[in-house]
Structure 1
């Protein structure tokens, strides 16, 4: 019996499905400009089951906020988004759902956000944070920064 068949039978026996691929379509640096306000996010390409991200936003020359982010595979095989705003302890948001160009992470115990969604619309990267029911949503439409 081939290895592929054995792996498939093992997945069926445990009820586990195939692992979600890392969202390589996030890779690069992205920005949104709304008048003097700006937001930027950069993601490394997937490597060793990990993607590192950073984000910052501000107004004009003033930095308002920044965040260190990470996507990695959890013990259950699903992806987990970790956010650490302004150096605070990181918070885990396990994968809720995913598709070829979309991924949703959620943590209903967190105050805000509880849900983090990324998806692509054409060449743009979309991002949305909200409560679990979709209320208090805030959305970004990022354009790829030149050179990334």
Structure 2
């Protein structure tokens, strides 16, 4: 009886999806607001890895170019972001349903979590973490670039 309960419990537990299950992220995505314009592009998974780049433009500021990878690592699928002049930062994917990706690095100053999920035809993304004892969150709603 205990074994059956354990099997049922584990069967319902969320699992970490492999990198290949994130092909829904592939493509070019754009968000335009009065404050900024962001273009984020992801390639389809190849050999267990996805590669992406994000370009953010704001009036009166230099472009911010961030390169990103999602790779299969022993700890699980890992999102690594690299901004020029900074060390790469790795975030490990948390268990969750297919079609949603939450990556976490509790040791990073900000953000500690990176979120991606489809929102109908759009792509929703967010970063969040604690800053001076308060939860800070930034969200994007990208439309597929045409």
Shorter-chain TM-score above 0.5: yes
Match of 1:20 in 2: 17
Match of 2:47 in 1: 48
CA contact (8 A) 1:128 1:138 kept: yes
Structure 2: runs of 5+ lacking an equivalent: 1-9
Match of 1:74 in 2: 73
Residue 87 to residue 24, structure 1, CA distance change in 2 (3 Å): farther
CA contact (8 A) 2:79 2:91 kept: yes
Please list every run of at least 4 consecutive aligned residues from structure 1 whose deviation after the TM superposition is greater than 3 angstroms: 60-64
Provide the rounded CA distance (Å) in 1 between the counterparts of 2:60 and 2:145.
18
CA contact (8 A) 2:117 2:124 kept: yes
Task: Give how far 1:126 is off.
Answer: 0.4
Which residue of 84, 90, 95 maps to 2:93? Answer: 95
Residue 28 to residue 80, structure 1, CA distance change in 2 (3 Å): same
Question: Size of the alignment, in residue pairs?
Answer: 130
Give the number of the structure with larger relative contact order, counting CA–CA contacts within 8 Å between residues 6 or more apart. 2
TM-score, structure 1 normalization:
0.79
Provide the rounded CA distance (Å) in 2 between the counterparts of 1:18 and 1:70.
21
RMSD over aligned CA atoms reads 2.4
TM-score, structure 2 normalization:
0.80
